[in-house]
Amino acid sequence: MEPRVTLKAMALSGVLALLLASCGEAPEAPPLPPDPLTSEEAAQAIALGAPAAGALGEGLLARLAHAIDSEGLEGATSFCSEAAIPITEEIEAAQAADLSLKRTTLRWRNPDNAPDQWEERVLRYLEALEGFDPESVPVELTAQGPGESLRYYRPLRAAPMCLNCHGDEGEMDPRVLDIIRENYPEDRATGYEAGELRGVIRVEIPQEAQTQGAG
């Protein structure tokens, strides 16, 4: 009789676990970061990645602000379409180490910015953290990349100014929306609110570049 009781008890606890899991309440523990690095690798990824991510973030923001000032929102929208990736490549080339820079997100406007599988895991992790407790989202994180590469990530949040082109479609300038729809028929990057996680800057540190940052 003993085993039967045990089986029944096991089946019951299984049903209970299922019931509890489907309650849809906030998770009790924060999610775990994907593809973690050793502490030495992480230190190296931060040493090389943080300055490069800073240069890209500030560089793009300065050019965007300048484009809005000189060409208005419409001109700036076309400017973003044409110049964001070339500017990213320019800033990448200006780095001392041989790094690769990208902006990526789960809801992309430009399909060229869509995440690869490593980036997607990090973006899903950040979204899960945001759902668990927005305060727990780090300002930077590191993870393993493809092959022997290391990756540095800097989360980007939508500032009020960003909503001109990424906010509620009903509140956006229709001329800006027209340009976006024309250039990106499958755009997913509207509907953000101020403060919301918009994506990340990703810096990849290939194996050849890793010793450069060690000294």
Residues that bind ligand HEC (CB under 6 A): 61, 64, 73, 76-77, 80-81, 84-85, 103, 105, 108-110, 113, 156, 158-159, 161-162, 164-166, 189, 198-199
Nearer to ligand HEC, 44 or 77 (CB): 77
Nearer to ligand HEC, 68 or 129 (CB): 68
User: Are 103 and 202 spatial neighbours (Cβ–Cβ below 8 Å)?
Assistant: yes
Angle at 72 (CA atoms; ends 66, 74), nearest 5 degrees: 120
- For residue 198, give the 3-state DSSP assignment: strand
- The least distance separating ligand HEC from the CB of residue 26, rounded to whole angstroms, comes to 26
Nearer to ligand HEC, 80 or 150 (CB): 80
User: Are 200 and 122 spatial neighbours (Cβ–Cβ below 8 Å)?
Assistant: yes
Concatenated DSSP letters of 148-180:
T-EEEEEEEE--GGGHHHHS-GGGS-HHHHHHH
User: Are 151 and 143 spatial neighbours (Cβ–Cβ below 8 Å)?
Assistant: yes
- The least distance separating ligand HEC from the CB of residue 46, rounded to whole angstroms, comes to 21
- The least distance separating ligand HEC from the CB of residue 32, rounded to whole angstroms, comes to 25
- The least distance separating ligand HEC from the CB of residue 67, rounded to whole angstroms, comes to 7
Nearer to ligand HEC, 99 or 198 (CB): 198
